[in-house]
Amino acid sequence: MNNASVEKRIRELREKIRKYDYHYYVLSESLISDYEYDQLYKELEKLERENPHLITPDSPTQRVGSDLTKEFPPVKHRVPMLSLSNTYNEGELYDFDRRVKENLPGGSKVEYVTELKIDGVSVSIIYRNGLFFKAATRGDGFTGEEVTNNVKTIKSIPLKIDDQKLKEKGFNDFEVRGEIFMELEAFRKLNEERERNGEKLFANPRNSAAGTLKLQDPQLVAARPLDIFVYYLLLEKDIIKTQYETLITLKELGFKVNPHFKLCKNISEVLEYCKEWETKRDDLPYEIDGVVIKVNSVEQQKILGNIAKSPRWAVAYKFKAKQATTKIKKIVWQVGRTGALTPVAELEPVFLAGSTISRATLHNIDEIKRKDIREGDTVIIEKGGDVIPKVVAVVLAERSPESKEVKIPGECPVCGSKLYRPPDEVAIYCQNTNCPAQIKGRIKHFVSRGAMDIEGLGDALVDLLVDLGLLKSVDDIYNLKNHYDELVNIEGLGHKSVNNILSAIEKSKSQPLERLLFALGIRYVGAGAARKLALHFGTMENLMKATEEELEAIYDVGPQMSKSIRAFFDNPENRKVIQRLKEAGLNFTASVTKTGAQVLMGKTFVLTGTLGSMTREEAKNKILSLGGKVSSSVSKKTDFVVAGESPGSKYRKAKELGVRILNENEFLQMLEKGEAVQ
Ligand code: IVH
């Protein structure tokens, strides 16, 4: 074959394989036998091997890379990946419908699209020039992690969109979002295999999909049957008018769209759909945890906008949790990182919603008393979302005379020290901050994924290192390198894994302040608050100097949190830990700082409508404090109009003049990040 005909043949083979893949993986139909398919694939591989200069990233042979993914770099989402607020019953669904209508011009007709809520992991995929370009996880909604190599292995995701289709549609660059999941059968098989190999089991299909997406080796990912349903299309221009049209367009572009979506004329049709799928959910080969209801019209979606992290134009209807009946063998007390004791029921193993359950949380002693739960009782347990299963009720008819009431322990079950119950709390605490259970809990939290993300320092290893006395507090992690000999002698750890762990520890030193703050486990400071604090103060030193009043002045930081932060930094033990972390070379600065805080310098804002999260006066002060100006009327010179609820004539004027309009969420992000202003 001459060069031109090789190229032609390669192109032909790719087209064919693409077509067969599409039919097989997206439409679930086989057009040819496996044998014939393999022949084509092998021919393509051979031609590409002989002509490596002709290999392109969109070739079907390029789905599985051979290089390990060393890191999953952050990707900022062009439009935040929002989450949904939940409804649990008919009444709440009707409330949603009412709110939607109240926020639209009087007499608006509203149609909804209902979709199954797939219980998986959301992902964003960017296409450039019709080619798969980049994929990222949701992360905190604003910034995710790049998982391109792993997502590329999913065969139902096209690497290239048909040229003709793109021409018809009139766009080349776009972003799709959807849910990556694993079918139940595949999940069961995977867990069986893991059990055989003595590996840790995944709790449910969602966790196994999430875990797979973060594997470093794309070859391993490719061997796990991940799949996707897409439901969102983001274009440069607003050419699509409805969610229904979005789904059809996605289908036409070759994406896998869940077939059970429906256009509903009104909320009663929506409710009917929800009820129907709540009973039919077990017939599906994948897990769903509810229904997503979206206002169909994109124009109406725009008017409705978003509240904080979720849209006003969509809501989830969550199904009731699945239940099972089993027996409590024993009730034990677990000590967490804050010292709080949690009663846990050890159960006779029972299969529920895709996995075997052998423990359930009982929350606290009041709950045990209220529900009269005793050792030996037969109980109903349920699993909702990602929480640990809980005991819903006792089957009293089956109570035996041997059932035993639970007593509050007199001392910490781990360190034996005295327990304390604060007057206005139900929780009981072990007050010994050196209790091994607390130390283990704090260290596990510190190294966890959302915190310092130190791979390789798993729960079992942390337990062991604490028991061996190598870890007493989080700063000891950075001293592990001086215990190399002890580490390599631990069973199951060789030179290679020790080196990997040590380099992951080194790498974690550059995590930004927001991660470190979260990792320290200050009471009430979650990942979101840590981000705000880091952004506001810029450095650990500044934050440590802040008074309660200064802390409270930050949006969303209440008195409880500010007190807790102050108490944390006033504690000499904690100060020592921080000093040692500093000496170890950890990064004490935030990833983005508002240095000088003048990020809105030179920008003029006009406010209209009511904001849900702050008064007009507060909004004005924030803009001024960031260097911006606030004007009372819209002109060509206005940079942004911030439109809250029921905006007035300024909104129309802004539209006429083409001034950029920010909804509340966009405005909040701008304040938070100080980045959106170019
Ligand atoms: S729409 C603003 N549609 O549910 C729109 N989400 O709690 C937000 N999900 O993060 C997403 N199936 O991971 C949408 N058909 C569907 C979905 C779906 C599952 C997940 C998604 C999202 C979460 C919202």
HSE (CB half, 13 Å, CA atoms) of 442? 26
Rounded mean pLDDT of 213-234? 93
What are the respective helix, strand and coil percentages of the chain, to the nearest 5?
A: 40, 20, 40
Ligand 1 touching residue 487 (CB < 6 A)? no
Lowest mean pLDDT among 72-76, 472-476, 568-572: 72-76
Q: How far apart are the first and last CA of the chain?
A: 54
Q: For residue 193, how far is the Cα from the chain centroid?
A: 27
Question: For residue 480, what is the DSSP state?
Answer: G
Specify the ligand 1 atom closest to the Cα of 116.
15
Fold of 323-420: OB fold (Dihydrolipoamide Acetyltransferase, E2P) (2.40.50)
Ligand 1 touching residue 221 (CB < 6 A)? no
Ligand 1 touching residue 122 (CB < 6 A)? yes
Contact 362, 342 (CB under 8 A): yes
Ligand 1 touching residue 233 (CB < 6 A)? no
The reply to whether domains 3-62 and 513-583 share a CATH topology is no
Fold of 513-583: DNA polymerase; domain 1 (1.10.150)
Distance CA 64, CA 41 (A): 14
Distance CA 420, CA 425 (A): 10
Lowest mean pLDDT among 117-131, 297-311, 439-453, 619-633: 619-633
Fold of 86-318: D-amino Acid Aminotransferase; Chain A, domain 1 (3.30.470)
Read off the pLDDT of residues 112-168 as tens digits, 9 standing for 90 and up. Answer: 999 999 999 999 999 999 999 999 999 888 889 999 999 999 999 999 999 999 999
Residue 184: CB partners within 8 Å, gap ≥ 6? 205, 285, 286, 287, 354
Contact 373, 379 (CB under 8 A): yes
Pocket probe for ligand 1: among 77, 81, 117, the residue whose CB has the most ligand atoms within 8 Å is 117
pLDDT value of residue 386: 52
pLDDT value of residue 45: 95
Answer yes or no: 509 catalytic. Answer: no
Rounded mean pLDDT of 426-445? 93
Ligand 1 touching residue 186 (CB < 6 A)? no
Ligand 1 touching residue 662 (CB < 6 A)? no
445 CB burial (10 A radius; 0-12, 13-18, 19+): buried
Pocket probe for ligand 1: among 96, 122, 313, the residue whose CB has the most ligand atoms within 8 Å is 122
Ligand 1 touching residue 118 (CB < 6 A)? yes
Query: What residues pair up with 288 in beta bridges, in sequence order?
Result: 118
- Cα of 212 vs centre of ligand 1, distance in Å, is 20
48 CB burial (10 A radius; 0-12, 13-18, 19+): buried
Specify the ligand 1 atom closest to the Cα of 310.
2
pLDDT exceeds cutoff 70 at 213: yes
Distance CA 420, CA 426 (A): 11
Provide the pLDDT confidence category of residue 415 given band limits of 50, 70 and 90. very high
pLDDT value of residue 676: 37
Pocket probe for ligand 1: among 77, 81, 82, 83, the residue whose CB has the most ligand atoms within 8 Å is 83
Ligand 1 touching residue 536 (CB < 6 A)? no
Task: Report how far apart, in Å, the C-alpha atoms of 82 and of each of 96, 113, 127, 239, 612 are.
Answer: 17, 18, 20, 21, 17
Residue 36: CB partners within 8 Å, gap ≥ 6? none
Read off the pLDDT of residues 175-187 as tens digits, 9 standing for 90 and up. Answer: 999 999 999 999 9
Distance CA 531, CA 541 (A): 16
Distance CA 397, CA 400 (A): 9
Provide the pLDDT confidence category of residue 614 given band limits of 50, 70 and 90. confident
pLDDT exceeds cutoff 70 at 675: no
Pocket probe for ligand 1: among 85, 118, 309, the residue whose CB has the most ligand atoms within 8 Å is 118
Please state, rounded to an integer, the average pLDDT across all residues of the chain. 90
Ligand 1 touching residue 179 (CB < 6 A)? yes
Read off the pLDDT of residues 316-356 as tens digits, 9 standing for 90 and up. Answer: 999 988 889 999 999 999 999 999 999 999 999 998 876 78
pLDDT value of residue 596: 41
Give me the count of residues in the chain: 678
Specify the ligand 1 atom closest to the Cα of 84.
7
Q: Which of 8, 76, 109, 117 is catalytic?
A: 117
Residue whose structure tokens are 């007050």: 431
Provide the pLDDT confidence category of residue 281 given band limits of 50, 70 and 90. very high
Provide the pLDDT confidence category of residue 297 given band limits of 50, 70 and 90. very high
Which CATH number does 436-508 carry? 1.10.150.20
Rounded mean pLDDT of 190-218? 84
Nearest protein Cα to ligand 1, atom 16: 117
Please state the pTM of the whole predicted model: 0.63
Nearest protein Cα to ligand 1, atom 18: 117
- Cα of 116 vs centre of ligand 1, distance in Å, is 9
- Cα of 237 vs centre of ligand 1, distance in Å, is 22
Ligand 1 touching residue 234 (CB < 6 A)? no
pLDDT value of residue 174: 96
Distance CA 499, CA 481 (A): 9
Lowest mean pLDDT among 192-206, 402-416, 442-456, 587-601: 587-601
Nearest protein Cα to ligand 1, atom 23: 83
Specify the ligand 1 atom closest to the Cα of 82.
2
Nearest to 128 by CA among 81, 176, 165, 169: 176
pLDDT exceeds cutoff 70 at 387: no
Which CATH number does 604-673 carry? 3.40.50.10190
Fold of 3-62: Helix Hairpins (1.10.287)
- Cα of 246 vs centre of ligand 1, distance in Å, is 15
Specify the ligand 1 atom closest to the Cα of 261.
15
- Cα of 85 vs centre of ligand 1, distance in Å, is 10
Question: For residue 411, what is the DSSP state?
Answer: B
| Identity of residue 337 | R
Question: For residue 340, what is the DSSP state?
Answer: B
Read off the pLDDT of residues 568-596 as tens digits, 9 standing for 90 and up. Answer: 999 999 999 999 999 999 999 987 654 44
Rounded mean pLDDT of 531-556? 90
Distance CA 250, CA 434 (A): 56
Ligand 1 touching residue 288 (CB < 6 A)? no
Ligand 1 touching residue 316 (CB < 6 A)? yes
Read off the pLDDT of residues 231-245 as tens digits, 9 standing for 90 and up. Answer: 999 998 889 999 999
- Cα of 292 vs centre of ligand 1, distance in Å, is 7
pLDDT value of residue 565: 96
Task: Name the 3-class secondary structure at 610.
Answer: strand
Ligand 1 touching residue 82 (CB < 6 A)? yes
Ligand 1 touching residue 227 (CB < 6 A)? no
Look at 149 and 629; give whichever has higher pLDDT.
149
Residue whose structure tokens are 């893991």: 194
Tally Cβ neighbours within 10 Å of residue 268. 13
Specify the ligand 1 atom closest to the Cα of 86.
7
Contact 325, 391 (CB under 8 A): no
pLDDT exceeds cutoff 80 at 42: yes
Domain assignments of the chain as residue spans, ordered by start = 3-62, 86-318, 323-420, 436-508, 513-583, 604-673
Distance CA 667, CA 602 (A): 16
Provide the pLDDT confidence category of residue 198 given band limits of 50, 70 and 90. low
Nearest protein Cα to ligand 1, atom 22: 83
Ligand 1 touching residue 83 (CB < 6 A)? yes
- Cα of 257 vs centre of ligand 1, distance in Å, is 13
- Cα of 62 vs centre of ligand 1, distance in Å, is 29
Provide the pLDDT confidence category of residue 673 given band limits of 50, 70 and 90. low
Nearest to 146 by CA among 120, 176, 124: 124
Ligand 1 touching residue 314 (CB < 6 A)? yes
Contact 457, 485 (CB under 8 A): no
Contact 639, 660 (CB under 8 A): yes
